[in-house]
Structure 1
């Protein structure tokens, strides 16, 4: 059994127009959401055997923040250019080329590629993954090279806004 977690980078900052897309950092919400989602992954008991990230700054930072929460060595995160706007097919090829010693892999990247790959691999119509969204897909195979489009089973789809608690009402009756 193989398990793939596709993770969209956390919310990025757009306030410095001089930065290239590749160099955009996380904003404050992103810096808060990534560790939160990492703690949820730890709580679920789905720590990675291997982590691979897009080379974009916001994706690398998301990967490092999540790695800290799940007990993964931040220096062991592998950077793969295919995860930076390489397309759905590039992600599928990257998955199929993974080392079979790894049972659970995290891939941190970008939309629309991750959303398309998640839907394609799971056979589910998942729509667009929100920032710091995580799609976990299970494959009934022993070898990553045997992963095929539509053959995975959606294990969960989670994202930060799913966990927002509504604020208590500020209106007090009779005032």
Structure 2
């Protein structure tokens, strides 16, 4: 079995209108929500072996917040995940070494929400899942021995959480 922890980056700052999108940092709420999500993951035993993270500043800062609450795991910061659509995300997922049993991927909307929906055999009837707000996290299990074997419509949603429901 393979487990994907699919997370949208935490809330980012729009305080500098001249700043390039890829360079936007997290705002105060994002800096609070990322470690809170890491704590939730640890409390549920959802511990990744590997991380694939968009190269954007806000996704990297989200990862730093998450990793502050869970055991360290190797991370790859991948430019191709910045504003990626489902096809690019699937390519990254399928390229993950088989030795990793649990993978966290941190990306952006609208791609990450579309990717989550396309991976699931039975998508939930959940408005929060449809919106995939900042720091939304889905836990998706696959009956597969290798990431390269993951296909569309093959995952089972084990858990889904957004920051306001962490309490």
Q: Which residue of 1 aligns with 2:80?
A: 82
Q: Is 2:134 aligned against 1:131?
A: yes
Q: Which residue of 2 aligns with 1:94?
A: 92
Q: Which residue of 1 aligns with 2:6?
A: 6
Q: Give 5+ residue unaligned stretches, structure 2.
A: none
Q: Which residue of 2 aligns with 1:171?
A: none
Q: Deviations over 1:153-173 (max 9, x none)?
A: 001111101135xxxxxxxxx
- Write the distance in 1 (CA, Å) between the matches of 2:166 and 2:107: 22
What stretches of structure 1 move > 6 A for 4+ residues in a row?
none
Larger Rg: 1
Q: Which residue of 1 aligns with 2:36?
A: 36
8 A contact 2:120–2:155 mirrored in 1: yes
Q: Could you tell me the TM-score, scaled by structure 2's length? A: 0.93
Where does 1:22-171 land on structure 2 (aligned, <5 Å)? 22-73=22-73, 76-123=74-121, 124-125=123-124, 126-163=129-166
8 A contact 2:40–2:166 mirrored in 1: no
Q: Could you tell me the TM-score, scaled by structure 1's length? A: 0.89
- The structural deviation recorded for 1:68 is 1.4
- The structural deviation recorded for 1:82 is 2.0
- The structural deviation recorded for 1:52 is 1.2
- Write the distance in 2 (CA, Å) between the matches of 1:107 and 1:79: 10
- The structural deviation recorded for 1:36 is 0.5
